Structure 1
Amino acid sequence: MKIQCIERDIRQILESGTYIIPRFQRPFSWEKDHIEEFWQDTTSDVKKDYFIGAFVTYNINNTAYGVVDGQQRLTTITIALCAIRDKYKELGFDAPAKGVHRLIVTRDLDDKSQFVLKAETSYPYFQSQIQSLDKERDVIEIGSEEGALRDAYALLSKYVAEGVLEIQAQGENIAKTKAAAKKWLDQIRDKLLSLKVISITLDNQDDAYLIFETLNTRGKDLTASDLAKNHILRLLPAKGKDLDRAKDHWRDIQKNLEESKKVIETTTFLHHHWLSKYPFTTEKLLFKAIKEQVNKTNVKDVIEELKIDSILYRGISEPGSLNLWTKGNKDVQDSLLCISDVLNITIANPLLLTVLRQFNAKNLKDGQVREIFGLVEKYHYLYTTISALPSSGGVTQMYAVHAREIANAATPNEMGICINNFKAKIKSKVPPRDTFITKFKLLSYTNTRQRDVIRYTLWKIYKSMFPAVDVDRGSLSIEHLAAQAAGGASVHSIGNLLAVPTKYNGDVLGEKSFAQKRQLLTDHGYALEAFIKNSKIWTAAEIEQRSSDLAAYAYDTAWVIK
């Protein structure tokens, strides 16, 4: 590996060629704190020869380089220069504006303009909305990287504008004030351009892949997903300039995750994908495991699996995004949605991913998926949501172990054995009845964080008590049997609450008496529990009794693991 090292300033870097963000690099991701720290470090009383770290590139040709380390810094400096250029132009200083612009957009030997820093993943936003001197008015779709670039440009433009305003506020003579503003802009421009780096140039892209694994960019460490992407793309080189299927697949994976309504970190997805198929490893050691397992013989299969799994993984939190559900298994979809949406469980995701993968491949039947999802839902409702018992690392490994067993089941008989083993394990972890009942009775509508759980609880119990009645959880609202105006702590306890269709709440039931509400619900065909139907009055004693009855029914029937 041939390496050339030389000290350079940023101006020399920008004047010596063009720089391409290569396929293995992550998108621009600096946030406000990184931008703010970099601006203060590089523009506030900067001493001569201020050093900002290594800048590692590899040769593409005599005047073009791929960026290995320094992407975030070089992009930020380019954005800052764009902000300074635009302020020059705004104040009427066309010559220095064009001078700075030549460090952003240069011309090749055929006198064609080209950007000094070329970023493919943020095209065309970065080029048209930030780098160009004349901004385009076209509406461009904003992804996460474009949003980070937009915010960086806005913040750096704000710093530049504030600096100019501060200078202008110090003078009364317009001409002198304008000249002072230009002088300040000149100083900021020169400070940025005089920043020092150790420029390290590698011979080729293969060397760049190897170096990338050992480097961190300023402010943000490389994640396991950054390193995994680098490793996979190194094993799958592009087939010419216009065909890079590996990079296309990786872009699709990230797009599938980014389009989720819930935030899904790529590293989290990779870790859960790994746990669903391969031996257990921590997130910290994930890249090491990937590097040992993924090689030239299996890398194509791996990236194809990741692409499919990214769709399925999104479907854990958004079951409606998957084409797996029919009228006959809608309850399975509901169960998955309850796990992710109401119970907010992610620890079981490796197992859920394996089940969706096997179901998608038609290796699992509706009933088997229903049973597995039901076990996860029941266990976490009993153990975590209500009993508030901690999920240990042992639970993480439990899900990983059973995920791999189900993933590797070769026959229907083996699959049945795997499901029974998982069921036995879950059954052994169910909390004591007394613990559950005590905690269940503490559910209160005054606790806003418990309201979704209460709505889910009453819906699940109602479905269990009246299985013939089709009830949509999303169409239910909570009604107080004893009016809230009655006061008292018991009014908001679960024993006084009823999940009813939204159309009954408000004007229909309102602040009516218990007897009136009961009669109205009966007249509307709403099925009532025997205890409510048979109660002559509704006081704190009845509320307490119903709380106990619901708790016992929940543990013994609605969420029982048989």
Structure 2
Amino acid sequence: MKIQCIDREVRQILESGIYIVPRFQRPFSWDRNNIEEFWNDATSDVKKDYFIGAFVTYNISSSVYGVVDGQQRLTTITIALCAIRDKYQELGHIAAARGVHRLIETRDLDNHALFVLGTETSYPYLQAKIQSFAKDEEEMEVREEEVALADAYNTLCWYIDSGIAEVSESDPAKSKRATKKWLDQVRDKFLSLKVISITLDNQEDAYTIFETLNTRGKDLTAADLAKNHFLRLLPTKSKSIDLPKDNWQEMQRTLESAARSIQFKTFLHHYWLSKHPFVTEKQLFRSIRNEVTTSNVKDVLSELKIDSKLYRGITEPDFLDLWGKHTLDVKDSLLCITNILNIQIANPLLLAILRLYNAKRLKDGQVRELFGLVERYHYLFTTISALPSSGGVSQMYAAHARDLSNANDSNALGVSIQDFKKKIKERIPSKDVFVSKFKQLTYANARQREVLRYTLWRIAKAKNPALDLERTSGTIEHLAPQASSAPHIHQIGNLLLVPGKFNGEILGAKVFSEKRKLLKAGGYPLEPEIIASANWGEDEIVNRTAALADFAYNQVWSIK
């Protein structure tokens, strides 16, 4: 490996060639704090010959380089020069504006215009909206990277505007000359920033250096490093077509465009746990690097692409084309796990289940049983009993996900499901712990209302399977009116989930006897103790709360 190291200023870097951000690099991701810190360091009067670190590139062709390390800094410097150029232009200093612009856009030997910094992931936004001398006014698709670029540009423009305003106020009579001088100073400070320029011979060396520089760093995630590893093993054969990179970006878009944006690193970790021995997120890349080779990289990437959609379907079941009329309850069970109970620790197992279901290796009843086990366990253990999910639970889910994934036939799948059920049963909380926590559920706590809605719905459907009651559209009603401020009024023993036709206007603040009469007339199946009660006060509410807790533990969420 041949390496050249030279001390350089940023101006020399920008004047010496074209810099391409290669396919294995992550998108621009600096936030406002990063930009502000960089501005303060770069423009400080105290820091002379300010060193901003190493700038690592590799040779692509004559005077064309790929960026290995320093992408975020080089992009920020380019955006800063664009902001300075635009201010020169706004103030009428056209010659100075064009002078800066030649460090942003240059020309090759055939006089073709080329941007000094070339990127793919942010194309065409960076080029059209920031780098171009004349801005493109056409609306463009804006994703996470484009938002970061726009925010960086606006932040730098704000600093420049603030500096210009301060200079103008100090000497209005000499404002134009003073502002030009101040802009010149800011420009020169950015261009005189010091770097160690390290140039490598080829792209293969670049992949190796990129990984070495960042494996122990905190800036790049395992997903960034994995992307580098995959693309190194899948070199592109065409400058115009890069299917591996396109597939990676498609996976990112699938996950990021979810209703609740999903981080790629989280998906990648859970995918890996669903098929391989347990590793922490910190250990993930090393495991990937050891397992993914030239012989299997295409298959792994292909499965990742499919699984990214399935993973999104864990929190968005409607995103998946897997459900029929006879499996709507299965879909809703998954929705309850992830959106009502807010459980993520089981995701490796849920992904393995969906993968096998999608491949038609699991039957409807098996998926129903597996989702039901996860749902019931976490309702008992996490949502109500509020017991902590330790690392042992994470490893349990990963182990059973791996067992399911590695099952060779239907018999092995059946054994794996029974093993999982046995492990779950061993972890359920005691009835005393559950009941004591269940009794603390209260409508007065707004955060518990969705759990209360879910709880009342499951109980009502368990007692009356034919009841036409939708969880999302049902209304929580108080049997004894809410007007009282007594704590027992908001206990679950005083609550019913009723169909939408019994809206607040019908039942309203009516007394218990009138509500009971209207519910019976409307065909709502009231419990015998409600029908038999002459009055509905604290004793009745406390007794019903205890009865519901018992029914919940022994029947609705029981794991037998």
Identity %: 63
Distance 1:50 1:493 in 2: 64
> Do 1:52 and 1:196's aligned partners in 2 also have CA atoms closer than 8 Å?
yes
Q: Normalising by the residue count of structure 2, what TM-score does the alignment of the two structures yield?
A: 0.98
CA deviation profile, 1:301-321 (whole Å, cap 9, x unmatched): 010011011000000000000
CA deviation profile, 1:201-253 (whole Å, cap 9, x unmatched): 00000000000002249996211011100001000000121221111111111
Does 2:152 match 1:155?
Answer: no
The answer for unaligned runs of 5 or more in structure 1 is: none
Structure 1 stretch displaced more, 369-378 or 209-218:
209-218
Partner of 1:20: 20
Cα offset, 1:46, TM superposition:
4.9
Distance 2:215 2:423 in 1: 44
Partner of 1:100: 100
2:275 counterpart SS class? coil
Distance 2:142 2:218 in 1: 22
Q: Normalising by the residue count of structure 1, what TM-score does the alignment of the two structures yield?
A: 0.98
Partner of 1:37: 37
Distance 1:240 1:158 in 2: 42
Cα offset, 1:110, TM superposition:
1.3
Partner of 2:268: 270
> Do 1:257 and 1:266's aligned partners in 2 also have CA atoms closer than 8 Å?
yes
CA deviation profile, 1:154-193 (whole Å, cap 9, x unmatched): 11111111111111121232xx112111111111110000
2:172 counterpart SS class? coil
> Do 1:34 and 1:219's aligned partners in 2 also have CA atoms closer than 8 Å?
no
Distance 1:78 1:220 in 2: 24
Distance 1:19 1:420 in 2: 57
Partner of 1:463: 461
> Do 2:57 and 2:65's aligned partners in 1 also have CA atoms closer than 8 Å?
yes
Partner of 1:285: 283
CA deviation profile, 1:70-109 (whole Å, cap 9, x unmatched): 0000001111111111111111111111111111111111
Partner of 2:68: 68
Distance 1:282 1:319 in 2: 27
User: Which letter maps to 2:305?
Assistant: K
Distance 2:133 2:534 in 1: 79
2:170 counterpart SS class? coil
Does 2:6 match 1:6?
Answer: yes
Partner of 1:49: 49
CA deviation profile, 1:428-448 (whole Å, cap 9, x unmatched): 111000110000000011112
Partner of 1:122: 122
1:198 counterpart SS class? strand
> Do 1:73 and 1:218's aligned partners in 2 also have CA atoms closer than 8 Å?
no
> Do 2:469 and 2:498's aligned partners in 1 also have CA atoms closer than 8 Å?
no
Residues 351 and 76 (structure 1), Cα distance of their counterparts in 2 relative to 1, 3 Å cut: same
> Do 2:468 and 2:499's aligned partners in 1 also have CA atoms closer than 8 Å?
no
Structure 1 stretch displaced more, 216-225 or 508-517:
216-225
> Do 2:215 and 2:225's aligned partners in 1 also have CA atoms closer than 8 Å?
no
Aligned ranges for residues 246-265 of structure 1 at < 5 Å?
246-265=244-263
Cα offset, 1:527, TM superposition:
2.0
> Do 1:71 and 1:217's aligned partners in 2 also have CA atoms closer than 8 Å?
no
Distance 1:471 1:502 in 2: 8
Distance 1:352 1:4 in 2: 50
Cα offset, 1:470, TM superposition:
3.2
Partner of 2:373: 375
Distance 1:105 1:47 in 2: 29
Residues 218 and 42 (structure 1), Cα distance of their counterparts in 2 relative to 1, 3 Å cut: farther
Structure 1 stretch displaced more, 103-112 or 385-394:
103-112
Cα offset, 1:413, TM superposition:
1.0
Partner of 1:391: 389
User: Which letter maps to 1:452?
Assistant: E
Aligned ranges for residues 468-479 of structure 1 at < 5 Å?
468-479=466-477
User: Which letter maps to 1:102?
Assistant: R
Does 2:416 match 1:418?
Answer: yes
CA deviation profile, 1:391-415 (whole Å, cap 9, x unmatched): 1100011001110111111111111
User: Which letter maps to 2:419?
Assistant: N
Cα offset, 1:505, TM superposition:
2.4
2:443 counterpart SS class? coil
Does 2:145 match 1:145?
Answer: yes
Cα offset, 1:492, TM superposition:
1.1
Does 2:177 match 1:179?
Answer: yes
Alignment partner for residue 441 of structure 1, among 423, 439, 442?
A: 439
Partner of 1:490: 488
Aligned ranges for residues 196-345 of structure 1 at < 5 Å?
196-216=194-214, 221-345=219-343
Cα offset, 1:261, TM superposition:
1.2
> Do 1:85 and 1:101's aligned partners in 2 also have CA atoms closer than 8 Å?
yes
Distance 1:109 1:39 in 2: 34
> Do 1:88 and 1:96's aligned partners in 2 also have CA atoms closer than 8 Å?
yes
Distance 1:409 1:47 in 2: 62
2:480 counterpart SS class? coil
Structure 1 stretch displaced more, 94-103 or 356-365:
94-103
Residues 473 and 551 (structure 1), Cα distance of their counterparts in 2 relative to 1, 3 Å cut: same
Alignment partner for residue 509 of structure 1, among 498, 507, 510?
A: 507
The answer for unaligned runs of 5 or more in structure 2 is: none
1:110 counterpart SS class? coil
Structure 1 stretch displaced more, 52-61 or 27-36:
27-36
Q: For this pair of structures, how many residues does the alignment match?
A: 560
1:201 counterpart SS class? strand
> Do 1:69 and 1:216's aligned partners in 2 also have CA atoms closer than 8 Å?
no
2:361 counterpart SS class? coil
CA RMSD of aligned residues (A): 1.3
